[in-house]
Amino acid sequence: MTDLDERILARPLTRRVFLQGSTMAGVATFLAACGGGASPSPTGAESAAPSDGASAEPTSGPIEGPLNFANWPAYIDLTEDETSSPTLEDFKAKYGIEVNYQEEIEANEDFYATIAPQLSAGLDSGWDIIVLTDYMAARVVRAGWVEEISAAATPNAQANVRDELRGLDWDPDMKFHFPWQSGATGVGYNVVSTGRDLTKVEDLFDPAFAGKVTLLSGYPDTFSLVGLMLKAKGEIANVPAEMTLEDAQVVHDFLKPYVDDGHIRAFTGNEYLQDFGSGDTWVAFVWSGDLASSGGEDDRFVFPDEGSIIWTDNMLIPKGAKHKAAAEAMIDFVYDVPNAARLAAWIYYISPVKGAGEEIAKTDEELAANPLLFPPADVAAKMYPQMALADEDDIAWADLAADLEGA
Amino acid sequence: MALLRSRRAIPYLLMAPGLLWLLLFFVIPNVQMLVFSLSEGTLRTGFTTPPDVWDIENYTGSISKFSGNFSNSIVYGGLATILCFLIGYPLAYAIAFKGGRWKNLLLFLVIAPFFTSFLIRTISWKIILGNDGPVLAIARDVLHLVPANFSIIGSPLAVVGGLTYQFLPFMVLPLYVSIEKVDRRLIEAAQDLYAGPWRRGGMIAGALFGAFALIALQVGLGYGAFIGEDAAPAAVAAAALVGALVGGLVGAFLISQSFIRVTFPLSLPGVFAASILTFIPAIGDYVNPQLLGSPKTQMVGNVIQGRFLDQNDYPIAAALAFLLMAGILLAIFLYAKLLGTEELTGGTA
Amino acid sequence: MPEVEVRLTQVYKAFGGDATGRRVAKYTDPNEAGLIVAVDHIDLEVQDGEFFSLLGPSGCGKTTTLRMIGGFEQPTSGKIELAGQDVTWLPPYKRNVNTVFQNYALFPHLTIFDNVAFGLRRRQVPEAEVRQRVSEMLTLVELPGYERRKPGQISGGQAQRVALARALVNKPAVLLLDEPLGALDLKLRKQMQLELKRIQQEVGITFIYVTHDQEEAMTMSDRIAVMNRGHYEQLGDPETLYERPATAYVAGFLGVSNLLPATLGTRDGDYVAATLADGATVRVPSSVVEGKSDIRIGVRPEKIRLSKEGAVIPDRMNRLEGRVVDASYLGASTSYVIESKSGERLTVFEQNVERTSHGSLHRPGEDVLLAWSPDHTFAVGTDRAAPTQASTTA
């Protein structure tokens, strides 16, 4: 049982607080300052900026801009006045190229739908770097819609990516992706409403919480966590990444009665934050950091005993990207430990870069000890990645999830 | 001759931008959707489209698979429209007839919620109806009408309430316009011709509506499940009685014959327009069931949204969209037949 | 003596503020600042079976008076009785009174038949009787066969008849008509005036008719109340009002009149001598000057005979010297403007019976003698605008 909120630091600005929308004006000015157009302009006609040439690799060509970078909202560090990003500014200064950084990705599926037509037709998507969560990154990699990342051009990344993030079955040798940030999915609860501390996924199904429970929509988080619980009870044999469709059916059949009798009130996205606030949700599957940074003082997050889910948003270079060398330079740049530490301290999720914690500890002991940023060993040992399904399986699983969600 | 021809062309030229707009943004996407709705596959696996395949199963299968969502849509959309009417008509009437110099301000207040985003409004409803919100605070903590674990969020009523709130302006504005147009002298003429209070009719109509409203409230809240199956029939009967009493009194004292015989019939074209404007977006909504409902209250819109955006299953989504469109058109057709709009507008003169 | 059907006793109606007062131009109550007075303490009796008109310009309070009788407005004070029953506070649907509205106010969504049947059905008259009475009434207004049409499908004159039928079918004790012919063209209006009078005589119902058209009122009415600023200046049959207007306002509103300032002299039998501004003395029937001191005498233009200077005028006639200023040929008559020695201008109509084929009998610049019978002389008070509280019944 890890009671986190006691140890949470009051940060001036975290990703989730940022998402609450209080600083939309800041986003606008920031985006304006980034200088990119509304959409990426992969013309390549712009004159090649002088580059230091040191890390240029023959297969990737010279490092030319502008770098068209699609990422999630509030997923990059900002200066105090929120008009520019120190990381991006340093990158620009170092390589002398423009960066067209767009907060374009709101949901994996939606963004996928915007790039799939071009990529499947063998056309350039217009982006040089995109950031997708594991299962979607796996889908894009399997489709062969990504460029191979040059090992020679990314020495920092090759050396510094954390060991537990290596060896994924969809890209065992880190040829096509590098993690941007990671996060965990676990159990959130309001300790006043529940009247007790919760430690397990199974606690969600306590009859006392009937009608006050929400799960996450889609199968990756919910089926993984419930799968872990059923595994602990011996009803299924596999960890999430290895769960079969039969396992998914077991999860579905376990959850269905709880949906039908109203025990589980809803399947949500981020909006569980409001439900905690209004008292309609007492217990839920939540993403790490959300409740700690944006919830009430009685809201708690635990990494459940059965295990928690770790997911990663990954940088990919779409097939046919016009500025591949610049993209590789960026990937390597954010794996440089001081740069990684700066990003991690701001974004407030789990950094994929070895040594980032030590780097932060040099200036901020307390932050370096925050389990949300740096999960302790016992928790880390029970962190499981989500399943990454092939297309046919994905459709079947999504149908099972949709049946539970009533739509 | 050339001049004559060019003059004849003017009306077509004037229509051209509108027609082009419709062609580009209505006809073409709809044809595209129609093709999708008969195709197989998903965004990822790629589509097999007509004429290689004509997948009627997208339609037939969807009707049975999502029949629950369809009936939710029809019932919630219909109830929301009726509720909008019951709330909106008196409101529009009061603004039109008694608004005086406050008319414009009152109309502004009716549309004021539109200045806030749809999503924000739904979320604020979530707070109002929520566990710690004012509604439950009164019903549960002050009046002790409901048990401690009673929840409005997640019930069909919350969804219907949200829909009613969201689409009320769509009901009020057309009603206001048509009521405002009713010549006051016609009402005086009716009164002059012995149209007095409508006691008996008003009482019966009010009682029926009142009973209906309270039963719908109870069932919609799922109140029965909280007080136990045995007590439920008694509670429904009690609700019906209270509703009938209150409704009967209101009807008997507030509804006049001049209203029933003159004002209301003359405002029927507005009623027709308003209920269609309310029903169509209400039946297709997915935000309210998503935020205020539970998995059991999801509507067709949620399925379409999920299939399009989450699962990228365009064929099923398109087929559902067409089924919904067909259903709406059928409903409007029947409704127009029922109300007989031509009769309402005073014939051809 | 015929029964009194409608009685108004000291009926007063004031609207507060300008929000409502704007509807009609009213004058403000000197006693209560801000109040706009529509009807100022009217006493009125309308007899059973009478065709009674309220005549006056817009804003004189005639429509408000009618609306109070119909029940659409409540008086601020005073009492309204219908056939002896106090109806002051009764709503319209409880009064045995029906109204023909300006612009007809036919129900556009109902057929002609349903329009006419509306009142009967509200009173739960059996359907068979409804059918019979409606068809009788449509025959009376000469519209049989129009039952199934909608108001949008008939002409203005026909709509007018339907409105009449819709009201009359209920056999009200009193029928109120609010400028019912206002929307019709002149020819149709003349025709409908006769029609209305015929129907009124046929059904024998009391009509209270509001109009601003003096000719219309004269044509149809048994009695007319000439209204001005919330009260009526004079009430009487058309002839009395024309021949013996009691005030300058009435004299001016009904036809053309010549008014001359005069000083009253001695009484001589049925007449009183009056001296005009130019020194001429005329005789005035003593009945018309009763109770008046400061007066103007009046004479209608068609009562005056013109003759050349030096012609012999019988002694019993009133006479006045003057000069022709203008002469207008009007076909049946010629209209002269004559200036008296003291500078007053008089209008004179002369029938063209004796007219020669070569120009006017009298030409501008010509000195003429004006003569008229003392019996055609009337007298009005000098203060044209002052409203009089006293009711002047004929």
**pLDDT, tens only, C63-119:** 999 999 999 999 989 999 998 899 999 999 999 999 999 888 999 999 999 999 999
Q: Enumerate the residues of chain C whose CB falls inside 8 A of the CB of residue B182.
A: none
Min distance B228 CA to chain C CA atoms (Å) = 49
The DSSP 8-state label assigned to residue B298 in this structure reads -
- CA–CA dist B135, A364 (Å, integer): 46
Min distance A4 CA to chain B CA atoms (Å) = 25
- CA–CA dist B106, B95 (Å, integer): 7
Lowest mean pLDDT among B41-45, B63-67, B192-196, B341-345: B341-345
Return mean pLDDT, chain A.
82
Quick check: B261 and C118 CB within 8 A? Answer: yes
* CA dist A138 → A144, A172, A197, B113 (Å): 10, 11, 36, 43
- B159 or C356: whose pLDDT is higher? B159
CA nearest to A372, candidates A191, A186, A163: A186
* Residue whose pair of structure tokens reads 């003392």 in the numeric block: C374
What SS3 class is residue B280? helix
Run of H or E including C86: strand C85-86
- CA–CA dist B8, B316 (Å, integer): 45
Using one digit for the tens of pLDDT, what is the confidence trace for C301-351? Answer: 989 988 887 778 888 888 888 999 988 888 888 889 999 888 889 999 988
- CA–CA dist B139, B221 (Å, integer): 13
Q: Enumerate the residues of chain B whose CB falls inside 8 A of the CB of residue A218.
A: 310
Cα R_g (chain A), whole angstroms: 21
Per DSSP bridges, beta strands C281-285 and C295-299 are unpaired
Q: Which of residues 19-38 of C touch B (CB under 8 A)?
A: 19
Quick check: C99 and B346 CB within 8 A? Answer: no
Long-range (24+ apart) CB contacts under 8 A made by B22-27 are none
> From B123, which residue of chain A is nearest by alpha-carbon distance?
A274
| Average pLDDT over every residue of C21-48 | 69
* B47 alpha carbon, distance to own chain's centre: 35
CB B260 within 8 A of CB B243: no
Q: Enumerate the residues of chain B whose CB falls inside 8 A of the CB of residue C122.
A: 193-196, 257, 261
Q: Where are the domains of chain C?
A: 4-243, 248-381
Q: Which of residues 72-131 of B touch A (CB under 8 A)?
A: 123, 126-127, 130-131
> From B265, which residue of chain C is nearest by alpha-carbon distance?
C109
Residues of A engaging B, defined by a Cβ cutoff of 8 Å: 107, 109-110, 112-113, 116, 120, 139, 143, 210-212, 217-218, 259-260, 262, 264-267, 271, 274-275, 277-280, 391, 394-395, 398-399, 402, 404-407
Mention every residue, 6+ apart, whose C-beta is less than 8 A from residue B163: B76, B77, B80, B282, B285, B288
Interface test with C, best of B102, B186, B188, B192 (most C CBs within 10 A): B192
Q: Chains A, C in contact: 3+ Cβ pairs under 8 A?
A: no
Quick check: B192 and C70 CB within 8 A? Answer: yes
Quick check: A218 and B310 CB within 8 A? Answer: yes
- CA–CA dist B290, B70 (Å, integer): 15
* CA dist A3 → A120, A303, A304, A384, C47 (Å): 46, 9, 11, 20, 97
DSSP C228-242: ETTEEEEEE-HHHHH
Using one digit for the tens of pLDDT, what is the confidence trace for C117-144? Answer: 999 999 999 999 999 999 999 998 889 8
Other beta carbons within 10 angstroms of residue A61's beta carbon come to 14
Q: Enumerate the residues of chain C whose CB falls inside 8 A of the CB of residue B102.
A: none
- CA–CA dist B235, B224 (Å, integer): 8
What architecture (CATH level 2) is domain C4-243?
3-Layer(aba) Sandwich (3.40)
Q: Enumerate the residues of chain B whose CB falls inside 8 A of the CB of residue A112.
A: 43, 312
Lowest mean pLDDT among A53-57, A170-174, B315-319, C13-17: A53-57
Domains, chain B, with CATH or none:
70-183+268-349 (1.10.3720.10), 197-255 (no CATH)
Same fold, A15-180+314-368 and A183-310+383-405: yes
> Which of C92, C103, C150 lies at the smallest CB-CB distance from B192?
C92
| Average pLDDT over every residue of B47-66 | 87
Q: Enumerate the residues of chain B whose CB falls inside 8 A of the CB of residue C103.
A: 185
> What is the identity of the amino acid at C346?
L
| Average pLDDT over every residue of A354-378 | 86
Q: Give the pLDDT band of residue B3 (cuts 50, 70, 90).
A: low
Lowest mean pLDDT among A252-256, B221-225, B317-321, C319-323: B221-225
Does C144 sit behind a cis peptide bond, omega within 30 degrees of 0 on the bond before it? no
Q: Enumerate the residues of chain A whose CB falls inside 8 A of the CB of residue B303.
A: 402, 407
Same fold, C4-243 and C248-381: no
| Average pLDDT over every residue of A182-192 | 93
Return mean pLDDT, chain B.
87
Interface test with A, best of B40, B44, B67, B320 (most A CBs within 10 A): B44
Quick check: C109 and B266 CB within 8 A? Answer: yes
B224 touches chain A (CB under 8 A): no
| Average pLDDT over every residue of B90-111 | 92
Q: Give the pLDDT band of residue C382 (cuts 50, 70, 90).
A: low
Q: Enumerate the residues of chain B whose CB falls inside 8 A of the CB of residue C106.
A: 189
- Looking at residue A394, its pLDDT comes to 85
Size of interface B-C (CB pairs under 8 A): 82
- Looking at residue B95, its pLDDT comes to 95
Min distance B77 CA to chain A CA atoms (Å) = 17
The greatest distance separating any two alpha carbons of chain B, rounded to the nearest whole angstrom, comes to 85
Q: What is the pTM of this model?
A: 0.80
- Looking at residue A395, its pLDDT comes to 86
Q: Enumerate the residues of chain C whose CB falls inside 8 A of the CB of residue B196.
A: 91, 93-94, 122
Residue burial A116-130, b: 16+ Cβ < 10 Å; e: rest? bebbeeeebbbbbbb
Q: Where are the domains of chain A?
A: 15-180+314-368, 183-310+383-405
Quick check: B130 and A279 CB within 8 A? Answer: yes
Six-digit token string for A231: 């595994």
What architecture (CATH level 2) is domain C248-381?
Beta Barrel (2.40)
Using one digit for the tens of pLDDT, what is the confidence trace for C5-19? Answer: 899 999 988 886 544
CB A321 within 8 A of CB A139: no
- Looking at residue A293, its pLDDT comes to 65
Run of H or E including B291: helix B287-292
- C387 or A146: whose pLDDT is higher? A146
What architecture (CATH level 2) is domain A183-310+383-405?
3-Layer(aba) Sandwich (3.40)
C160 touches chain B (CB under 8 A): no
B44 touches chain A (CB under 8 A): yes
CA nearest to A224, candidates A308, A312, A284: A308
Mention every residue, 6+ apart, whose C-beta is less than 8 A from residue B168: B84, B87, B88, B110, B278
| Average pLDDT over every residue of B278-297 | 92
Quick check: B195 and C122 CB within 8 A? Answer: yes
Most confident of A38-52, A201-215, C247-261: A201-215
CA nearest to C108, candidates B273, B269, B257, B276: B269
Quick check: B291 and A271 CB within 8 A? Answer: yes
> What is the identity of the amino acid at A64?
E
* CA dist B278 → B290, B301, B327, B336, C31 (Å): 19, 15, 15, 15, 54
CATH superfamily for domain A15-180+314-368 = Periplasmic binding protein-like II (3.40.190.10)
* Residue whose pair of structure tokens reads 């767009």 in the numeric block: A102
- CA–CA dist B40, B313 (Å, integer): 9
